[in-house]
């Protein structure tokens, strides 16, 4: 959990073609790609978007904070369990238990503490994963809403996502990542709870 991992966002936008006939379109604009039946396609570099879109950066930082908090909580509980085990072992070796019943109660208590720790680990991990999925959904929704608005004037038939080597080849002239990134950051406003979490992180860091 040290690093908050965000799933790659697969973006796709399809725009309805104009209903005019090819002859009418060609007469109006012979350079129009729709008049020749060609698709107007662009793509976005997802890795670049994830690294530079402020919403992604903020949620990544929050994920790191939450992951670190979970690690600290579990590590503290684990140390306490180990200390209790060591104390019981020492008491047993020095014949400190007055009866077999007392030893069994100590063992049962230790076992219950171990079980509680495992349940806490499972609960925190599940909560962390659910929060991560929520952040991913918000990011995907934010980008897709922007692209829908953006494409009202650009009129692309498809806007594809390019992440790593998922495309064998892409001509750089169809790369609209810079435009999309600029537009996303311009319209982004962090939620109050996001701003508060990041502010608390800065305060904690400055005290170290």
pLDDT score of 25: 42
What tokens does 202 get? 């800065």
Report d(CA 160, CA 44) in Å as an integer.
6
What tokens does 33 get? 């790609």
Report d(CA 175, CA 132) in Å as an integer.
28
pLDDT score of 131: 94
Side-chain-facing half-sphere of 183: CA atoms under 13 Å: 16
Report d(CA 8, CA 167) in Å as an integer.
14
pTM beyond 0.75, yes or no: no
* Local confidence pLDDT in tens for the 208 residues of the chain: 544 444 444 444 434 333 333 444 434 443 344 445 689 999 999 999 999 999 999 999 999 999 999 999 999 999 999 999 999 999 999 999 999 999 999 999 999 999 999 999 999 999 999 999 999 999 999 999 999 999 999 999 999 999 988 999 999 999 999 999 999 999 999 889 888 888 876 655 555 4
3-state class (DSSP) for residue 119: helix
Residue 138 burial (CB count, 10 A): 13
């Amino acid at each position: 959990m040290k690093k908050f991992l965000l799933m790659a966002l697969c973006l796709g936008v399809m725009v309805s073609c104009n209903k005019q006939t090819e002859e009418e379109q060609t007469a109006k604009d012979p350079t129009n790609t729709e008049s020749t039946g060609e698709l107007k396609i662009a793509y976005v570099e997802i890795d670049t978007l994830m690294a530079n879109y402020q919403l992604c950066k903020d949620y990544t930082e929050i994920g790191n904070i939450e992951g670190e908090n979970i690690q600290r909580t579990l590590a503290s509980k684990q140390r306490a369990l180990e200390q209790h085990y060591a104390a019981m072992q020492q008491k047993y070796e020095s014949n400190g238990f007055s009866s077999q019943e007392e030893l069994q109660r100590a063992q049962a208590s230790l076992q219950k503490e171990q079980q509680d720790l495992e349940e806490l680990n499972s609960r925190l991990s599940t909560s962390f994963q659910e929060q991560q999925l929520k952040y991913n959904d918000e990011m995907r929704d934010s980008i897709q809403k922007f692209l829908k608005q953006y494409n009202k004037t650009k009129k692309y038939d498809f806007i594809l996502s390019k992440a790593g080597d998922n495309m064998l080849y892409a001509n750089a002239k169809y790369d609209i990542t810079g435009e999309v990134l600029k537009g996303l950051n311009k319209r982004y406003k962090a939620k109050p709870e996001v701003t508060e979490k990041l502010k608390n992180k800065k305060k904690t860091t400055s005290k170290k």
